[in-house]
Amino acid sequence: MLRKLALGGIRSRFRDYAVLFSGLVIASAVFYMFLALATNTAFLKSNSFIALTSFVFYFGEVLLVIITVVYIVYANTFLMSMRQRDYAMFMMLGAKGRKIAQLIFIETVSVGLLATVVGTGVGIGLTTAAGNLLINMLHAPATHFNPVWGPAVLWTFVFFLGMFVLAAFVNAGKLLKTPVLQLLHADTTPNRLQQKRSVLVLQAIGAIVLLAIGYWAMTQLGTLQLMGIGLALVTIVMGTYLLFNASLVALIAWLKRRRFAARGLHNFTLSQLSFRIRDYTRILAVVAMLFALALGAITVGLGFQAEIPALVNQQAVYDVVTVAPNAATRRQVAKLTGVTATQHYQEKTDRHYVYLDASALARHPVQLMDYQNGKTVRVKVTAANWEKYADMAAQQLSTFRVPADADRQFKLVPAARFAQLAGPMRTVTTYQVADFGANYAPIKAIVAAQAKQHDIKSATQSGQKFYSYELVNGMFSGLAFMGFFLGIAFLAMLASTLMFKILSGASYDAKRYLMLQKIGVRPRLLRASVRQEIGALFLFPGLLGVVHVLFGLKMFTGLLRHPYGNLLVPFSIFIVLYVVYYLLTVWLYESIVIHRDVTA
């Protein structure tokens, strides 16, 4: 009987449960994906550069756990708000508290179990797609990669079921301690707070001070270090809550006293907002923080991806260099695309020196990277300034030598002297391409062919730019990958949190909208009221979240050269997705509160 009641309750509110369910599915799917990539030790050991990113996924997992715990707590509150009236009616009809507790346990755990099962299935598909994307980003072989990873499945179920079992006990205990009449009328009781103007002013000042401290702390991480992160987190969360609490109450009261309230259904819309203002204050503070985390994660992730070519280009001028290329090397060179510059230099060697023709450098200077005042600049080196850059050339032109030249130094000689040297002559060719990543495969093959030809045993002996690219790409692609998927997970949770907070009161709001329809208010005006009310609830946290992100990007100035350089793409992606969630919320809310047949 209890199972039938539980399932009947879920079916009766399927639309609301679907919103809750979708957020939980996405959370468990991303949770599984990160675990599957971070705990597959065989895959990590067989791909050294992916192994470098494993700590990134563990860090992402910790962030996801923290946010998911907050999300589940709020989802649990939503779950109870939907069913507490039904539970109260069962208790009035004589149901025992123990049976009600069992009913709550069955419903809560059932939703959690089903969401985890579906989420894990979605996570396996997501891991397949995301894993292949990561492998392509890192140019790594798919050795031992397995989307269905047992330990990840186990820990996903342990975490989510553990959270929902705990939530079930909390729900049961809380409900049994609450008076039945309070449960029956909880959703129809207004949460308006009669706050004095002086209190609101103090809250607004406190909010500004706390936010200023938090923003300052994010710019001083070099000095404050971990304490700065903790200080920023506490002050920004508190400041966000106080700002919404002070500004929303004051703004609604101010608008109600203006002519704005008399036009259309504005007064009704403002009354709707003020009816549950305290609950909205809390949820908007949570959403603003999640918005900032989501947008910040996507922005920083894409920023890391954009940093890869810039950082690699600081390591060396030439994308690949060949020394006396054989047929195998020449075949791979022919596969290069987008070649922007090619230069040929002649070398001769004896016991002590690698000789370069000074006249050739006069026509085509070699290029080196010079580090001046914290900046990297390219310098052209000829016979005229060779002495100045001789030590730098010895380090950066290691690609002009082979292991047999380890004890030989570079020496420039005039063309006539070069022609008279008796040593063997070889050709060194430098290549610069428009897109290193697009030429990864042929460059890797060229480096391998040269290593085989000249018996090069290590990256140090080679000196090729390819190895710098491997290292930087291995680290930053993992960070970009984590940032993007964390951002999507946070977005799904924040939007669905706000959605089911709004929709949880829709069934009670429907009575008021029906009354307006019966007295002749046109559906067009009602829809406009819905769009304005929900639009305000989406807009306020969105604006504050953007401000949080703009200040928060200062934390990454040590990792990103231009943290504010590419904001258009991530902001555009995020705003489009956010607007989609807004439109979906409006559509769901309208379908509940606006009746086609007002006589029913």
Tens digits of residue pLDDT in 566-578: 788 788 878 888 8
The pLDDT value given to residue 504:
67
Residue 453 near residue 31, CB atoms below 8 Å: no
Is pLDDT larger for residue 371 or for residue 547? 547
Q: What is the pLDDT of residue 557?
A: 74
β-bridge mates for residue 428, sequence order = 323, 345
Does residue 364 carry a pLDDT above 80? yes
Same domain? 22 vs 44: yes
What pLDDT, on a 0 to 100 scale, did the predictor assign at position 498?
76
SS3 for 433-477, per residue?
Answer: ECCCHHHHHHHHHHHHHHHHHHCCCCHHHHCCHHHHHHHHHHHHH
Asked if 67 and 176 sit in the same domain, the reply is yes
Is there a contact between 322 and 536 (Cβ–Cβ < 8 Å)? no
**Is residue 97 assigned to a domain?**
yes
Judge whether 122 lies within some domain: yes
Instruction: Using the 3D structure, point to which of 463, 491, 508 is the last residue of a domain.
Output: 463
Which of the four pLDDT bands, split at 50, 70 and 90, describes residue 242?
A: confident
353 and 418 within one domain: yes
Let me know whether 455 and 361 are in one domain. yes
For residue 135, tell me if it sits in a domain: yes
- Same structural domain, 342 and 294: no
The model's pLDDT over 505-518, given as tens digits with 9 standing for 90+, comes to 676 777 777 787 78
pLDDT band at 233 (very low <50, low <70, confident <90, very high): confident
Which percentage of the chain shows pLDDT scores above 90? 1
Out of 230-244, 313-327, 368-382, 492-506, which region has the weakest mean confidence (pLDDT)? Answer: 492-506
Burial 566-596 (b: 16+ CB within 10 A, else e): bbeebeebbeebbeebbeebbebbbebbbbe
Q: H/E/C letters for each residue in 355-376?
A: EEEHHHHHHCCEEEEEEECCEE
- pLDDT (tens digit, 9 = 90+) per residue, 145-162? 678 888 888 988 998 888
In a domain, 469, yes or no: no
Q: Is 177 contained in some domain?
A: yes
Domain boundary at 423, 444, 463, which? 463
pLDDT digits (tens, 9 = 90+) for 523-553: 788 888 888 878 888 888 888 888 888 888 8
CA distances for 76 relative to 79, 84, 163, 166, angstroms: 5, 12, 10, 10
Same domain? For 47 and 173 the reply is yes
Q: Is residue 468 part of a domain?
A: no
pLDDT value for 49 = 52
Q: Which of 439, 463, 487 is the endpoint of a domain?
A: 463
Cα(541)–Cα(582) distance, rounded to whole angstroms? Answer: 13
Residues 331 and 441 in one domain: yes
Q: What backbone torsions phi and psi does residue 551 show, to the nearest 5 degrees?
A: -75, -35
pLDDT of 87 reads 67
**Structural domains in the chain (count):** 3
Question: Which has more pLDDT, 145 or 164?
Answer: 164
Structure confidence at residue 280 (pLDDT): 74
Give the residue from 137, 225, 160, 49 showing the smallest Cα distance to 485.
137
Q: What is the pLDDT, as a whole number, of residue 181? A: 59
- Residue 319 reports pLDDT greater than 70: yes
Residue 170 and residue 219 in one domain:
no
The residue ranking higher by pLDDT, 439 or 308, is 439
Instruction: State the helix-helix crossing angle for 523-552 and 226-256, rounded to 10 degrees.
Output: 150
Clarify whether residues 458 and 483 are in a common domain. Answer: no
**CA-CA distances (angstroms) from residue 396 to 155, 372, 393, 405, 454?**
48, 16, 5, 14, 19
Both 69 and 163 in a single domain? yes
- Written in H, E and C, the secondary structure of 519-580 is CCCCHHHHHHHHHHHHHHHHHHHHHHHHHHHHHHHHHHCCCCCCCCCCCHHHHHHHHHHHHH
Helix, strand, or coil here: 410?
strand
Q: Which two tokens stand for residue 116?
A: 């985890």
In a domain, 545, yes or no: yes
Of 139, 193, 117, the C-alpha closest to 442 is: 139
- Which are the contacts of 226, defined by CB distance < 8 A and separation ≥ 6? none
Residues 94 and 169 in one domain: yes
pLDDT confidence bin for 451, thresholds 50/70/90: confident
Indicate if 303 and 336 belong to the same structural domain. Answer: no
Asked if residue 131 has pLDDT above 80, the reply is: no
Q: Average pLDDT of the chain?
A: 78
Q: Where in the sequence is the domain holding 579, given as residue range(s)? A: 197-311+474-600
